[in-house]
Amino acid sequence: MSPSNAPPEKETGLRLIAVAKIAKAVLFTGIGIGLFRSLNSDLGETARKLAIHLRIDPESHIMRLFLEKVAKVNPKSLRTYGLISYLFALELYVEGIGLWLNQAWAKYMVVIATGFFLPEEAYGCIRHFSWERVGFLALNLVVLLYVIWILCRKKRRRKGP
């Protein structure tokens, strides 16, 4: 079989990234469902019941401020955030499935999407330092560099010696 007819390699790293993307997509789908389900409910009362269930005093100063903010959330905002959550989930599903199938377009999509958010993540690390932020930034940078390396390696193979 010639190199151009060879089946695509199964990259374990790409498969791991694909699983992570699909897991995040499921999470954002759940968030979207939750936001749309809460459209016709009293969010302030729901948050108060949740605080009691978690054994947090709803009369404490911080909880009262939080409950006041939650009570002011309007249905239009919930719909907007729900739609954004669904769109982000869709993008993650497409990336994850494309990477699982080792599609070149999915690799480029990951490079663009990940590269687009890296400056914002770096700025967030500088502005509000935490080790979690640094960890997420480093992880996304590793993913970006790995996918770029895969793309460059494939391009070199195509050109030949």
In a domain, 2, yes or no: no
Quick one: 141 and 80 in the same domain? no
- Would residue 1 count as lying in a domain? no
Residues 95 and 20 in one domain: yes
Q: Does the structure show a pLDDT above 80 at 45?
A: yes
pLDDT at 6: 46
The DSSP symbol for 6 reads: S
Give yes or no: residues 49 and 93 share one domain. yes
Residue where one domain finishes, among candidates 101, 119, 144: 101
Q: How far, CA to CA in Å, does 109 sit from each of 92, 132, 155?
A: 10, 25, 17
| pLDDT, average across residues 89-105 | 96
Q: How does residue 143 score in pLDDT terms, banded at 50, 70 and 90?
A: very high
The residue range of the domain holding 62 is 12-101
What span, in angstroms and rounded, lies between the C-alpha atoms of 36 and 160? 53
Q: Are residues 39 and 71 in the same domain?
A: yes
Segment 70-86, tens digit of pLDDT: 888 888 999 999 999 99
pLDDT of residue 1: 46
- Is the pLDDT reported for residue 3 higher than 90? no
Q: Answer yes or no: is 161 within a domain.
A: no
d(CA 66, CA 134): 28
Read off the pLDDT of residues 107-127 as tens digits, 9 standing for 90 and up.
999 999 999 999 999 999 999
Return the pLDDT at 92: 97
Q: Are residues 125 and 84 in the same domain?
A: no
Q: Is the pLDDT of residue 154 over 70?
A: yes
Please tell me whether residues 74 and 147 are part of one structural domain.
no
Instruction: Say yes or no: 18 and 56 in one domain.
Output: yes
Q: Which of 19-23, 53-57, 80-84, 95-99 has the lowest mean pLDDT?
A: 53-57
* CA atoms within 13 A of residue 63's CA, in its CB half-sphere: 14
Residue at 69: amino acid letter: K
In a domain, 160, yes or no: no
In this structure, the answer to whether residues 21 and 88 fall within a common structural domain is yes
Task: Give the total number of structural domains in the chain.
Answer: 2
- Same domain as 77, residue 134: no
Helix (H) and strand (E) counts in the chain: 6, 0
In a shared domain, residues 17 and 32: yes
Cα–Cα distance, 8 to 69 (Å, whole number) = 52
Residue where a domain terminates, one of 67, 82, 101:
101
What phi and psi values does residue 148 have, to the nearest 5 degrees? Answer: -60, -40
Task: Count other C-beta atoms under 10 Å from residue 144's C-beta.
Answer: 18
Do 32 and 80 lie in one domain? The reply is yes
The model's pTM is 0.77
Shared-domain flag, residues 91 and 16: yes
Q: Is residue 140 one of the residues assigned to a domain?
A: yes
pLDDT given at position 160: 66
